[in-house]
């Protein structure tokens, strides 16, 4: 994935984010919330995290992290992690702060496991439409990290059976998934 392929947030996604924010309840004015949406570029599933904030009765949204399903690195912009308060987003470009922070600037890269805050996905319904994830049972998954689930599904397709049987706790165990893949007697 190339960061130059990234386009601005589509209008229908902005509307979906506003709708999801209203569903989750009113938050304090000035706090930053994170939402994510999924796109496909060059036959790869990509999750884009959006930071959202109301300030002076005006809505501000910007893309802060981009993760590819099979990528080893992610792209990050205007975001850092603090052990005390979690993820922080800089709003200097939008004119909400007077001074530019050290982490603000252009797009940078980081390891894929970092810069992935909890962000509800607003268009999760596109995953079953992709041919490789048609039978993944991702609509039954109610966990936080959807990409972790999809990576496990690619490695262990038997994950679908456990999810459809309602055994969600067992579906997260690699040991059980490997045992199901090898031992037919254990499946029975």
Report yes or no: 41 and 5 within 8 Å, Cβ to Cβ: yes
80 dihedral zone (left: phi>0; alpha: psi -120 to 50; beta): beta
State if pTM tops 0.85: yes
pLDDT tens figures, 79-137: 999 888 889 999 998 888 889 898 898 899 999 888 989 899 999 999 999 999 999 88
Least confident window among 23-27, 31-35, 55-59, 162-166: 23-27
Token output for 13: 């996604």
Predicted local confidence at residue 29, as pLDDT: 67
Query: Has residue 26 got a pLDDT over 70?
Result: no
Cβ-based neighbours of 150, under 8 Å, separated by 6 or more: 45, 69, 127, 133, 136, 138
């Amino acid at each position: 994935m190339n960061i130059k392929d990234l386009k601005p947030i589509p209008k229908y996604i902005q509307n979906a984010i506003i709708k999801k924010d209203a569903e989750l309840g009113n938050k304090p004015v000035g706090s930053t919330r994170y939402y994510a949406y999924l796109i496909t570029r060059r036959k790869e599933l990509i999750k884009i995290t959006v930071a959202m904030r109301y300030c002076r009765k005006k809505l501000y949204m910007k893309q802060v992290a981009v993760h590819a399903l099979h990528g080893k690195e992610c792209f990050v912009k205007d975001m850092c992690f603090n052990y005390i308060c979690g993820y922080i987003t800089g709003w200097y470009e939008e004119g909400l702060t007077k001074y530019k922070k050290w982490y603000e600037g252009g797009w940078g890269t980081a390891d894929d496991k970092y810069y992935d805050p909890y962000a509800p996905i607003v268009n999760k319904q596109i995953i079953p439409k992709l041919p490789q994830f048609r039978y993944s049972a991702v609509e039954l998954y109610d966990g936080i990290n959807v990409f972790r689930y999809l990576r496990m599904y690619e490695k262990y397709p038997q994950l679908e059976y456990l999810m459809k049987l309602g055994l969600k706790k067992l579906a997260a165990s690699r040991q059980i998934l490997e045992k199901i893949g090898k031992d037919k007697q254990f499946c029975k």
